[in-house]
Structure 1
Amino acid sequence: MSRFHFLEVIDVKQETADAVSVALRVPPELRKEFTFLAGQYLTVKLSVNGEELRRSYSICSSPFEEASIRIAVKRVALGRASNRLVAGMKVGDKLEVMPPMGHFHTPFDAGIERHFVAFAAGSGITPILSILSSVLRAEPKSRFTLFYGNTDTDRIIFRERLDELVREHGSRLTVHHVLSQGRNSDPLFNGRITADKAAQLLQRFVNDDLRKEFFICGPEQMMVNVSEALEKQRIDKKQVHIELFTSPVTTEAKKEVSHATSTAFNGQAEVEIVLDGRRHTLHMGSKGDPVLEVAIDAGLDVPYACKGAVCCTCKARVLEGQVEMEMNYALTDEEVADGYVLTCQTHPRSARVVIDYDQH
C-alpha cells in the first residue's frame, strides 16, 4: 500500500492572486514510486493547528518533462489546507505526499491522429494542463482544443503557460476562454459554461471527423452541463473522462450500490481489514459510520483524502461478503464490477466482510 514521503519544495510560482504552483523534487530512490500519468494527483498531508489534514492536488506538470512533480493549489474560502499552502509554502520546505493516484487519463499513441477536447473551469485546469502538454509531446499527429472557464482574465491560472504552448504548437492547440464576467463582443465567450453554451462551442469549434477524447474537470455544475451536451450529441461514454473538483452537492451519485444483493441487513458485522499484509478485525453496524471512519477510530493507518467519494485514495477491494457504497464519483464501472469500493462510502451488508487495502 502507498505511504507518505517527504519531498522538498524546489519552486513556488504565484500563478494568480489566489493560486500557486509548487514544484517538488523527487529523489532518485523514489522516482519509480512517483512515476505518474498525465491527469493524476498527489495526496498531501499537513498539520494545521495540531489537526492532521489530507487534501488531493492535481499534478500540472507532464511526465515527459523534468524529474520534479509540480502541483497547483488554489485558495479556498475558509480552506485551512489551501490557505496554509498558498500563503506559506517556500523553497526548501518539505511536503508530506503520497505517490500519484487517479484515473483521469488515457493511454497515448504516437502513431494515431486524434482530437482531444477539454472543458475546464477554475483550478480544474490543473490536470488538463498535464494532459494537454503530454498530448502535444506524445502524439505529434493529434490536436487539442481547450474551453476554459473563469471569472475574469485575472483569475486565469496558467495563462502564460497556455499562451506559450499556443505559440509553440500553432494550429495543434486552440484555447478558448469563457469568462463569467467577460465583455467579449461574441456572447458565446461570456457567462458560465451552460449545457447550451457547451453545445454551441462544440458545434462551432469541434466539427472534424477525427476520433475524439473528451476531458471535463471543474465544479460539479459545469461537469453536469458539459456531460449533458455530450450526451445529446450521442458521444460514446468511453470517450468522456470526468474529474470532479468539489464534493457533490446537487446531483445524484454516479453509482450507489456495489457488491450487494437487495436483501436488507441491519445487524452487526465482522469486518476484516487487510492492511500492509496484516489482518485486523473490526465490528460495526450496517448503519452509522462507513468502514473508513471505523478503521481510523480503531487506530489503523488506512489511506484517505477527500472522504467525499471524489478521489480514490481510500480505494480497497472486497474479497468476501456484501457491501454498499453511498456514493461513487471516482471508480470506473469496471473497477466496481471487479470488487473495488471507496471505503469512505462503504457499509457492510452481510455478517462478515473482508476488505483488502493492499489491492489498491
Structure 2
Amino acid sequence: MAFNFFKKNKDKEENKTTPAAATTSSDRYMNLTVADIIQETKDAITIVFEKPANGINYKSGQFLTLILPINGKEVRRAYSLCSSPFVDDQPAVTVKRVEDGLVSNWLPDNLKKGDAVKIMEPMGVFTTEFASTNKRHLVMFAGGSGITPMMSIAKSLLTQEPDSIISLIYCNRDIESVIFKSTLEKMELDYEGRIHVIHVLDQAPMNWQGHSGLLNHDMLLKIFERIPSWGVEKTTYLMCGPEGMMVNVQKLLEEQKIEKSKIFKESFVAGTIDKELKAEGAEPSSDEIVTREVTVIYSGEEHKFEVEPDTTILEKALDLGIDLPFSCQSGLCTACRGKCLSGKVKLDEEEGLSESEIEEGYVLTCVGHPLTDDVVIEIG
C-alpha cells in the first residue's frame, strides 16, 4: 500500500520499472503511434497512443519519456501517464504549454494523428499497488499539470479498491485552465461519495462558490475541515504541482504532525521544497571534484572511463557513445538511476531519490561526480 517517491523534469517547463537482468538498452525503447490528440484546455493536450502489438506494461503514476527530433537534435522529455492500466486500453500523456518550453510548445504545434513517437519504457516510482481488500484515503494536492499522475492513480484506485476514497484539492489559474474538468465531474457522479474534488482558483469568476486565491495556510486549514477523517494509518497524502503550493502543503502537514512516511511528492522541475524546510547552517561539503576513473556496469557490459570535474558521469558516457538510459538530465526523473557498489559519488541534486534509496547507495548519473577512484555503478 505504500507509495514510492520520485521526481521528474518536464522541459524544466512547465514520469521506474526495474528491467530484467537480460534486458538490453534497445529493449528500453519503442515506437508508439499517435491515435488521437485531445484538446483539454487552451494550453493542454492529451496525446493518446495506439496500444503496441506486444502491449505496454506500466503502473499508475509512472511516466513516458518522449524522444523527439527537434531542430536537428534528439530531445527527451518525461510526461506523466494520465491513463490507467486497469481502465484505459490505450496509454496517454498530457502536455501543457509553458512559456519558452521547447517540447511543450512543439508537441501541440507539430504532432499529428498517425505520427510515430519514439519513447523509453515506462518509468517512475510514484506508484502504489492496488488490492480489492485495501481500505484507505488518498488526499491529493495537485496544481496545473500536476493533475496528470493523480488522474492515473485515481482511476485505478476507484476501480480496484471499492472501499477506498479520494479527496482531491486541485489548484488552477482560472476555470478555463482546469485540465480534465468534465472527466472529474463525471468521476464524482459515477463514484458518488468516494471521490471529492475541491477546486481552488487564483482568478475566480463572479459566481464562484469555491475557494479562490493562493493555496495558503489559512485556506488549507479550512479545506482540511472538509476532508473526511479516516485516521493516520489509513490516510496518505500526495502532492504534485508548483513548488510554492507544495511548500505550503508540506508545512501544514508538519504542523498537523503528519508523519513523513505518509507524505509523498512529485515535482516537474528542480525544486527547493526540501531545501526550504531544512534547518539552516549546514556545513558545506569539503569533498573535491577532480578527474577520476569510474566503472559503469550496464546490460551485462562493463565500461571504464575518466570523468572530468566539469562533466557528469552520464555526460561523459554519452560523449563516448555509451548508450546509458536517461531522460531529464536534471536529477529528477530517476531514469539514469544506478547503485553505487563501491566508492563515493557527489550528486548536484538529490531531490529525485528517496531517503531509503540514498541509504541503499543509489545515485543518479546525470548529476553525479566521482569523489573517489574506486567508483563502480551498476545500472538496471
Relative to the length of structure 1, the TM-score reads 0.91
* Aligned counterparts of 1:254 and 1:296: Cα–Cα separation in 2: 35
**Offset at 1:188?**
6.9
Specify which of 257, 269, 273 is matched with residue 234 of structure 1: 257
* Aligned counterparts of 1:195 and 1:269: Cα–Cα separation in 2: 48
Partner of 2:155 in structure 1?
133
Structure 2 counterparts to residues 36-55 of structure 1, below 5 A: 36-55=58-77
Partner of 2:100 in structure 1?
78
Q: Is the Cα contact below 8 Å between 1:268 and 1:283 reproduced in 2?
A: yes
Query: Counterpart of 1:5 in 2: which secondary structure?
Result: strand
- List per-residue Cα deviations over 1:100-149 (Å, max 9, x = no partner): 11111222221132111100000000000011111101110111110000
Partner of 1:272 in structure 2?
295
**Offset at 1:347?**
1.0
Partner of 1:309 in structure 2?
331
Partner of 1:219 in structure 2?
242
Question: Is the aligned partner of 1:245 residue 2:265?
Answer: no
* Aligned counterparts of 2:94 and 2:199: Cα–Cα separation in 1: 19
Q: Which amino acid aligns with 2:260?
A: K
Which sections of structure 1, spanning at least 5 residues, go unmatched?
256-261
Specify which of 180, 198, 201 is matched with residue 223 of structure 2: 201
Q: Is the Cα contact below 8 Å between 2:199 and 2:210 reproduced in 1?
A: no
Partner of 1:338 in structure 2?
360
**Offset at 1:276?**
2.4
Question: Is the aligned partner of 1:12 residue 2:37?
Answer: yes
Q: Report which stretch shifted further, 144-153 or 99-108.
A: 99-108
* Aligned counterparts of 1:157 and 1:141: Cα–Cα separation in 2: 27
**Offset at 1:152?**
0.5
* Aligned counterparts of 1:4 and 1:274: Cα–Cα separation in 2: 19
**Offset at 1:186?**
8.0
Change (3 A) 1:221 1:69: same
Q: Which amino acid aligns with 2:291?
A: Q
**Offset at 1:183?**
4.5
**Offset at 1:275?**
2.4
Q: Is the Cα contact below 8 Å between 1:271 and 1:354 reproduced in 2?
A: yes
Change (3 A) 1:147 1:184: farther
Q: Which amino acid aligns with 1:343?
A: T
- List per-residue Cα deviations over 1:82-101 (Å, max 9, x = no partner): 11111222211111111111
Partner of 2:176 in structure 1?
154
Specify which of 295, 299, 306 is matched with residue 283 of structure 1: 306
Q: Which amino acid aligns with 1:14?
A: Q
Which sections of structure 2, spanning at least 5 residues, go unmatched?
1-24, 279-284
Query: Counterpart of 1:57 in 2: which secondary structure?
Result: strand
Query: Counterpart of 1:301 in 2: which secondary structure?
Result: coil
Q: Percent identity?
A: 36
Q: Report which stretch shifted further, 38-47 or 325-334.
A: 325-334
- List per-residue Cα deviations over 1:216-271 (Å, max 9, x = no partner): 0111111111111111111121211111022225762899xxxxxx7734543111
Query: Counterpart of 2:264 in 1: which secondary structure?
Result: strand
Specify which of 25, 41, 52 is matched with residue 50 of structure 2: 25
* Aligned counterparts of 2:142 and 2:52: Cα–Cα separation in 1: 32
Relative to the length of structure 2, the TM-score reads 0.86
Q: Which amino acid aligns with 2:297?
A: V
- List per-residue Cα deviations over 1:171-207 (Å, max 9, x = no partner): 1111111001114778971112124422331233243
Q: Which amino acid aligns with 1:232?
A: E
Query: Counterpart of 2:193 in 1: which secondary structure?
Result: helix
Q: Which amino acid aligns with 2:366?
A: C
Question: Is the aligned partner of 1:91 residue 2:113?
Answer: yes
Q: Which amino acid aligns with 1:132?
A: A
Aligned Cα root-mean-square deviation (Å): 2.1
Structure 2 counterparts to residues 316-327 of structure 1, below 5 A: 316-327=338-349
Higher RCO (C-alpha 8 Å, min separation 6): 2
Aligned residue pairs, count: 348
* Aligned counterparts of 2:198 and 2:244: Cα–Cα separation in 1: 19
Partner of 2:320 in structure 1?
298
Change (3 A) 1:295 1:253: farther
Q: Is the Cα contact below 8 Å between 1:254 and 1:328 reproduced in 2?
A: no
Query: Counterpart of 1:28 in 2: which secondary structure?
Result: coil
Partner of 2:197 in structure 1?
175
Change (3 A) 1:24 1:254: farther
Query: Counterpart of 1:302 in 2: which secondary structure?
Result: coil
